[in-house]
């Protein structure tokens, strides 16, 4: 074996190390080529042999092939069950297989378990998810398969509401592109998610048979740079000598002929906040990894404060990767590393002109900047994130998941706000998004595009809390979620609840959102406009820099 190959920090370094072995250790190199040839031959046979028509795509996995073979050899009138990873029903690479057994009505049940307590498989990694998959033969027809998710032990199958049914039509409604299975926690969750999707369309609908494709927001996903494969394009801060000057976190050569932009990573962003944390290099063995340094609220009250990256990349390379983002000067960025158990599963904000590592997905939309504020508000809302938690099974916020999430149509935001008939929804939402997003100088271009000509807004945690609660309540209303279901949706955010109960002695977010939700319902009933709790109101000039101090406004 070669330690140099095994410890290579990225693909480029690994390729060089392998080329070096060719001359320095030809015996080892020949063994490597023979193993690679065998692997390539096996892959070719599986993909082109004709036996595996459903699972021989993407990254091959033996459990998927085993599951397909199992359904092939099952007797026409029989039943059979196997234990396989839950990805057989939720991963995009298995969508053809799962869609097939659903459409053919061969799925009898799928019972998903976490190995968290290592009760069933003590020697298996505790995060491993697996399921008991039961199917029937082709001569039978099973109308409503039964499901359960997040079980910890067999006894959980006896809990009330834990096991529920989903029809073929339900799955097609919730995941119309992939026909994969949503990871619903209970019968109640199934009912709420079903109701949301019956009202709210998905972000992007693929063409299926007679159903045409639909992309009402004109969204294109932007994957710019891979942190490993593109490592040769990145430079660290020690690259810049005295001939460079800085403008925020952008380096410019003194003659203005060269410019290097920050490379954003997922750990640098939060909802409505592109300045969550700076990153820095940290040596681990032979690899250079990164660690985060979270910026404080006090630091972010300075509009010149920046989130400093561990790498920079040439502006010309960024422009080559995405001319539109480079010219626009900003983009919606979504963290691609996530989990259903995180405080928030969807993390999205406006990112200034920069390179994006593969842990940040860019969303370029044909909509104007003000409507994109509404798209951002939808994606950062509690009901939207609640649905995300039903869709994410692992640690990747894959684009096939994002495409099937519920996003209101752009035209919806041109309608009158139900709780304030004086304003269109767009006019009600944009000021709240603007005050939370435009808090630093490097988003001036975004602010101008969205119609705000003033200075950045002062970072104020108390105001941000109320602004988010108002938007969360608004989207609960727009998603037509009733009061009782709204309470259930907010209860899904268990990390937020535990933190607030420890800090405030109550689930503060839930109380305030439901109070605002009730006030909006009352405003709609009486036709007397909803009165914001914020003083001054959202995006008031007194909340800006530096006018805030000049006008004598003091943050509460």
Q: pLDDT band for 552, please (50, 70, 90 cuts).
A: very low
**Torsion over CA: 203, 204, 208, 211 (sign):** positive
**Torsion over CA: 408, 413, 415, 420 (sign):** positive
Q: pLDDT band for 67, please (50, 70, 90 cuts).
A: very high
> For the residues 411-427, what does the mean pLDDT come to?
98
d(Cα 90, Cα 72) in Å, to the nearest integer? 21
H helix or E strand, kind and range, residue 390: helix 382-391
Q: What pLDDT is stored for residue 251 in this prediction? A: 95
Nearest to 182 by CA among 202, 152, 199, 156: 202
Question: Which residues of 90-145 form beta strands (DSSP E)?
Answer: 107-114, 129-136
Q: What pLDDT is stored for residue 22 in this prediction? A: 84
Among 20-24, 49-53, 115-119, 151-155, the minimum mean pLDDT is found in 115-119
d(Cα 476, Cα 495) in Å, to the nearest integer? 20
Inter-residue contact 376 to 429 (CB < 8 Å):
no
**Torsion over CA: 471, 472, 475, 476 (sign):** negative
Q: Which residue has the higher pLDDT, 331 or 555?
A: 331
- DSSP per residue, 515-555: HHHHHHHHHHHHTPPPPPS-SSPTT-GGGBTTHHHHTT---
pLDDT at 450 over 50: yes
Inter-residue contact 20 to 8 (CB < 8 Å):
no
Among 33-37, 515-519, 545-549, the minimum mean pLDDT is found in 545-549
3-state secondary structure of 417: strand
Bridge partners (DSSP) listed for residue 114: 129
Tokens of 165: 């049914």
Total Cβ atoms within 10 A of residue 252: 17
Q: pLDDT band for 56, please (50, 70, 90 cuts).
A: confident
Tokens of 51: 């036996």
H helix or E strand, kind and range, residue 17: helix 11-24
Among 160-164, 358-362, 499-503, 506-510, the minimum mean pLDDT is found in 160-164
> For the residues 208-231, what does the mean pLDDT come to?
91
- Convert the pLDDT of each residue in 477-487 to its tens digit: 999 999 999 99
> For the residues 163-167, what does the mean pLDDT come to?
92
> For the residues 376-381, what does the mean pLDDT come to?
98
Q: Which of left, alpha, beta for 248 (phi over 0: left; psi -120 to 50: alpha)?
A: left
Inter-residue contact 35 to 314 (CB < 8 Å):
no
> For the residues 334-344, what does the mean pLDDT come to?
92
Q: For residue 190, count CB atoms less than 10 angstroms from its CB and return exposed for 0-12, middle for 13-18, buried for 19 or more.
A: buried
d(Cα 213, Cα 204) in Å, to the nearest integer? 8
Among 203-212, 353-362, 490-499, the minimum mean pLDDT is found in 203-212
Half-sphere exposure of 60 (CA within 13 A, CB side): 16
Q: Taking the chain, what is the end-to-end CA distance rounded to the nearest angstrom?
A: 63
Q: What pLDDT is stored for residue 363 in this prediction? A: 97
Q: pLDDT band for 549, please (50, 70, 90 cuts).
A: very low
* SS3 annotation, 255-292: CCCCEEEEEECHHHCECCECCCEEEEEEEECCEEEEEE
Bridge partners (DSSP) listed for residue 470: none
Q: pLDDT band for 553, please (50, 70, 90 cuts).
A: very low
> For the residues 174-194, what does the mean pLDDT come to?
93
Q: What pLDDT is stored for residue 433 in this prediction? A: 98
pLDDT at 554 over 70: no
Strands 355-356 and 259-264: parallel
Nearest to 340 by CA among 162, 479, 150: 150
Q: What pLDDT is stored for residue 399 in this prediction? A: 92
Tokens of 219: 């969204």
Nearest to 89 by CA among 122, 130, 126: 130
Inter-residue contact 177 to 400 (CB < 8 Å):
yes
User: What single-letter DSSP state applies at residue 459?
Assistant: P
d(Cα 2, Cα 542) in Å, to the nearest integer? 63
Bridge partners (DSSP) listed for residue 290: 281
Q: What pLDDT is stored for residue 547 in this prediction? A: 52
pLDDT at 285 over 70: no
d(Cα 385, Cα 459) in Å, to the nearest integer? 24
Residue appearing with tokens 């009733």: 482
Give me the phi and psi of 235, to 5 degrees please. Answer: -130, 150
Q: pLDDT band for 551, please (50, 70, 90 cuts).
A: very low
Give me the phi and psi of 378, to 5 degrees please. Answer: -60, -45
> For the residues 171-200, what does the mean pLDDT come to?
94
Q: What pLDDT is stored for residue 283 in this prediction? A: 56
3-state secondary structure of 173: helix
Question: Which residues of 187-344 form beta strands (DSSP E)?
Answer: 220-222, 244-247, 250-253, 259-264, 277-284, 287-294, 312-314, 330-335
Question: Which residues of 143-222 form beta strands (DSSP E)?
Answer: 146-151, 164-165, 220-222
| Percentage of the chain lying above the pLDDT 70 cut | 96
Q: pLDDT band for 289, please (50, 70, 90 cuts).
A: low
Q: What pLDDT is stored for residue 287 in this prediction? A: 44
Inter-residue contact 347 to 385 (CB < 8 Å):
no
List CB contacts of 400: < 8 A, sequence separation 6 or more: 92, 95, 177, 178
Tokens of 324: 């539109």
Q: How many angstroms from the chain centroid is the CA of residue 462?
A: 26
Q: How many angstroms from the chain centroid is the CA of residue 486?
A: 22
Q: pLDDT band for 457, please (50, 70, 90 cuts).
A: very high
d(Cα 271, Cα 275) in Å, to the nearest integer? 10
Tokens of 180: 């994969």
d(Cα 210, Cα 187) in Å, to the nearest integer? 31
- Convert the pLDDT of each residue in 1-27 to its tens digit: 777 888 776 667 788 888 888 888 888
Tokens of 301: 């009250």
Bridge partners (DSSP) listed for residue 416: 424
Q: In terms of residues, how long is the chain? A: 556
> For the residues 41-69, what does the mean pLDDT come to?
89
- DSSP per residue, 417-458: ETTEEEEEHHHHHHHHHHHHH--SGGGHHHHHHTT--SPPBP
């Amino acid at each position: 074996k070669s330690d140099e190959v095994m410890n290579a920090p990225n693909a480029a370094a690994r390729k060089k190390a392998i080329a070096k072995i060719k001359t320095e250790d030809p015996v080892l190199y020949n063994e490597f080529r023979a193993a690679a040839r065998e692997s390539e031959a096996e892959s070719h046979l599986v993909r082109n042999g004709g036996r595996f028509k459903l699972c021989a795509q993407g990254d091959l996995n033996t459990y998927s092939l085993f599951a397909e073979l199992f359904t092939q050899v099952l007797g026409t009138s029989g039943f059979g069950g196997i234990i396989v990873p839950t990805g057989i029903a939720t991963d995009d690479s298995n969508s053809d297989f799962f869609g097939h057994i659903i459409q053919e009505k061969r799925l009898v049940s799928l019972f998903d378990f976490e190995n968290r307590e290592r009760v069933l498989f003590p020697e298996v990694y505790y995060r491993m998810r697996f399921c008991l998959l039961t199917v029937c033969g082709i001569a039978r027809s099973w109308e409503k398969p039964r499901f359960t998710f997040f079980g910890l032990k067999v006894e959980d199958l006896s809990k009330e509401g834990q096991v529920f049914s989903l029809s073929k039509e339900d799955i097609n409604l919730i995941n119309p592109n992939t026909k994969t299975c949503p990871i619903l926690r209970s019968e109640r969750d199934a009912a709420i998610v079903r109701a949301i999707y019956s009202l709210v369309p998905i972000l992007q609908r693929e063409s299926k048979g007679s159903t045409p494709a639909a992309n009402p927001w004109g969204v294109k996903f932007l994957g710019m740079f891979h942190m490993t494969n593109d490592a040769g394009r990145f430079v660290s801060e020690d690259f810049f000598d005295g001939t460079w000057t800085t403008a925020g976190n952008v380096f410019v050569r003194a003659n203005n002929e060269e410019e290097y932009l920050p490379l954003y990573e997922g750990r640098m962003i939060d909802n409505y906040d592109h300045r969550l944390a700076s990153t820095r290099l940290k040596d681990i063995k032979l690899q250079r990894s990164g660690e985060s340094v979270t910026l404080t609220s006090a630091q972010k009250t300075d509009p010149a404060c920046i989130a400093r990256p561990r790498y920079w990349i040439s502006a010309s390379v960024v422009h080559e990767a995405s001319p539109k983002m480079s010219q626009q000067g900003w983009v919606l960025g979504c963290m691609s590393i996530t989990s259903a158990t995180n405080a928030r599963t969807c993390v999205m904000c406006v990112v200034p002109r920069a390179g994006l590592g593969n842990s940040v997905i860019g969303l370029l939309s044909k909509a104007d900047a003000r409507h994109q504020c509404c798209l951002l508000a939808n994606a950062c809302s509690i009901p939207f994130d609640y649905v995300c938690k039903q869709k994410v099974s692992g640690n990747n916020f894959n684009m096939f998941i994002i495409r099937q999430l519920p996003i209101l149509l752009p035209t919806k935001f041109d309608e009158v706000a139900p709780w304030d008939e004086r304003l269109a929804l767009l006019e009600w939402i944009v000021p709240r998004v603007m005050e939370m997003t435009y808090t630093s100088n490097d988003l001036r271009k975004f602010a101008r595009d969205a119609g705000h000509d003033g200075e950045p807004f002062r970072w104020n945690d108390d105001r941000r809390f109320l602004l988010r609660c108002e938007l969360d309540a608004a989207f609960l209303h727009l998603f037509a979620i009733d009061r009782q279901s709204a309470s259930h949706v907010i209860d899904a955010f268990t990390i937020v609840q535990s933190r607030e109960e420890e800090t405030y002695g109550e689930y503060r977010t839930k109380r305030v959102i439901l109070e605002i939700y009730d006030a909006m319902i009352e405003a709609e009933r009486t036709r007397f406009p909803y009165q914001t709790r914020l003083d001054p109101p959202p995006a008031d000039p007194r909340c800006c820099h530096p006018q805030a101090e000049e006008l004598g406004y003091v943050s509460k």
